[in-house]
Amino acid sequence: MIISASRRTDIPAFHGDWLISQVKAGSIQVSNPRRPSQIRQVSLRRQDVTAFVFWTKDPRPFLGHLRWLDRQGYPFLLQITLTGYGCDIEPGLPDKDALPQVLRQLAAQYGRERIVWRYDPILMSTKYDAAWHNRTFQALCEQLKEAVSQCTFSFMDPYPRIKRWMKESGIETVSPELRLSLARQLSTISRSCGLPLRACCEGADLAEVGIEAASCIDPERIAQISGQPVAAGRDRGQRPGCHCSPSIDIGTYGTCGHGCRYCYAAR
């Protein structure tokens, strides 16, 4: 059983103490996000957990908890998002300048195969145009190439709750032509840094520029990390185009403090 912690909120940044208390208790109650009255009991005992997959924009508050989980023998994979956006897009994030060093320290301690960097989502505006993304991605690749095993990216989806903000902020819908052109440029940059680049839920057309589809919860990677076989198969609870293996997400929508303007999980 793979535990996703979490696509719905940033557990490492805001809810680490709570998670560890649930691990020590041996189980957790998880509500169906569409039907909150439906609750299931999920075991967090070591023998029942294949691996944790942690999704975060700031792992720093969770570093001590990671050490504890590692001592208890829990395998884990870190999906860490780092972009160059300012406070107009990601208003609640702490200073990002120290994060590359934190990722290098994590790689030295646990191995870079456990760390995936997410340049995600890509949004376009007059301020954040293709040239900006090229410069920013190049600089981040240079800083992270020794610390991470892969970069995963996606273009921003215009969820209904953010369409008004997009219009007011001048965020553009990315045309297929611009999408393909920018993906080609990012692929060239990542290859120059020796860093595999994968696309999350972006369709098959990016293969022509050398970008394969991502499996963020990847059975082969998790089998390598955990030393246990992981059954292949698509998580049918995720959006179309997702190649992730099945997992149990233990997060709750509306509980993240970052306040990112593009977020689908905020309320």
- Chain segment 189-234, per-residue pLDDT in tens: 999 999 999 999 887 778 888 899 998 999 999 999 999 989 877 7
The confidence score (pLDDT) of residue 267 equals 59
Pairing of strands 27-31, 39-43: antiparallel
Domain boundaries, the chain: 2-249
Q: What is the pLDDT of residues 79-111, one digit of tens each?
A: 999 999 999 999 999 889 999 999 999 999 999
The confidence score (pLDDT) of residue 226 equals 95
Q: What's the predicted TM-score (pTM) here?
A: 0.95
The confidence score (pLDDT) of residue 249 equals 96
CB atoms within 10 A of CB 266: 16
One-letter-per-residue 3-state SS of 16-32: HHHHHHHHHHCEEEEEC
Percent of the chain with pLDDT over 70: 100
The confidence score (pLDDT) of residue 208 equals 86
Q: What is the pLDDT of residues 10-42, one digit of tens each?
A: 999 999 999 999 999 999 999 988 888 899 999
Contact 254, 265 (CB under 8 A): yes
Give pairs for 164-171: CB < 8 Å, separation 24+. 165/261, 169/88, 169/125, 169/261, 170/125, 170/126, 170/127, 171/123, 171/124, 171/125
